[in-house]
Structure 1
Amino acid sequence: MKTPSNDIELIKNQAAGTFYVITLNIESITNEESMIFPNGEANCMNWILGHIIYIRNAFLNVLGEESIWDKEKFSCYNRGEIPLNRKDELISFEDLKSYLQQSQDKLITKLSSLESFDSEKIKDISALSLHEIYHSGQLGYLRRILGKPGAIK
């Protein structure tokens, strides 16, 4: 197998970096804490993590890989949903952490198997990578709102 192209290495590094940031930011957060909606309306940590995973499934699909969960069953985490209205459908934070790890393993395995990206998919791939970066930062702010020390030093 040839050496992967630079764009694949870049996305692999971004995926590893955002996974690291997400993991640090959700460390020691309980399920109860993950369900707190700041100001009684802002998205809770549970929804943001589930949303990252939901959209990561689209990322896997763009790369030609199967999703790790059924998008209909977990539709409460889709873009545009109002988590406060669907809070009874949100799954446990521990289960989300497990799904995050599964998605990470699958994403890195898939990226490691590729030699190049389909040029028609570059915009989608870069947008999906940016999506993870954006929401991983939100988890850092939510962590502080919950009274935890910052995880990124």
Structure 2
Amino acid sequence: MKNDIEIVKIQILSNYKVISMNIEGITNEEAMIFPNGEANCLNWVLGHLIYIRNPLLNILGEEQVWDSEKFSCYNRGEIPLERKDEFISFDELKSYLKQSQDRLESKLNTMESFNPEQIKDISTLCFHEIYHSGQLGYIRRVLGKSGAIK
């Protein structure tokens, strides 16, 4: 159904806007601050979002933007504080985010329908992104920045 694709397109675009607003004006140094000395830093949350966008790209039949093995420090279940030396710069992450967005939008614009067996995975991955997009807003505030969503 075309409506399914429209819903996902709107979610992906809305998430991208929220993510972009929440990471605007954050330096690489600020992105590496772990709130309370242990909560996930902005760098990890953004990297994790991109890491999980890759399976969504794969489900849709598109190439992922990076090698999951090389960037495994951003995978679910990892302890970011223990792997922070493997993180890439915040600007590089922003570039990968843009690449993933471009690929998602391009692919969604050419699709006629989703494979019915993949609806649950697509929906879950969209929810995952919404969840972490909100976290970026809270971490932004913890860093002393004004809220980006007014």
Q: Do the two structures share a fold, i.e. TM-score over 0.5?
A: yes
The alignment status of 1:151 with 2:148, answered yes or no, reads yes
The alignment status of 1:130 with 2:124, answered yes or no, reads no
Task: Indicate the RMSD between aligned Cα atoms, in angstroms.
Answer: 0.7
Once residues 76 and 41 of structure 2 are traced to their aligned partners in structure 1, the CA distance between those partners, rounded to angstroms, is 14
Aligned runs of 1:1-150 on 2, under 5 Å? 5-150=2-147
Once residues 15 and 36 of structure 2 are traced to their aligned partners in structure 1, the CA distance between those partners, rounded to angstroms, is 26
Segments ≥4 residues shifted beyond 2 Å: none
Q: Secondary structure at the match of 1:33?
A: helix
The gaps in structure 2 that reach 5 residues or longer are none
The gaps in structure 1 that reach 5 residues or longer are none
Once residues 58 and 77 of structure 1 are traced to their aligned partners in structure 2, the CA distance between those partners, rounded to angstroms, is 13
Question: Letter of the aligned partner of 1:123 in structure 2?
Answer: K
Please list the CA deviations of residues 56-97 of structure 1 after superposition, one character each: whole Å capped at 9, or x if unmatched.
Answer: 001101111111100000000000000000000000000000
The TM-score, its normalising length taken from structure 1, stands at 0.97
Identity of aligned residues (%): 71
Question: Letter of the aligned partner of 1:130 in structure 2?
Answer: F
Once residues 64 and 99 of structure 2 are traced to their aligned partners in structure 1, the CA distance between those partners, rounded to angstroms, is 10
Question: Letter of the aligned partner of 1:37 in structure 2?
Answer: F
Give the CA deviation at 1:50. Answer: 0.2
The TM-score, its normalising length taken from structure 2, stands at 0.99
Please list the CA deviations of residues 108-139 of structure 1 after superposition, one character each: whole Å capped at 9, or x if unmatched.
Answer: 00111101100000000000000000000000
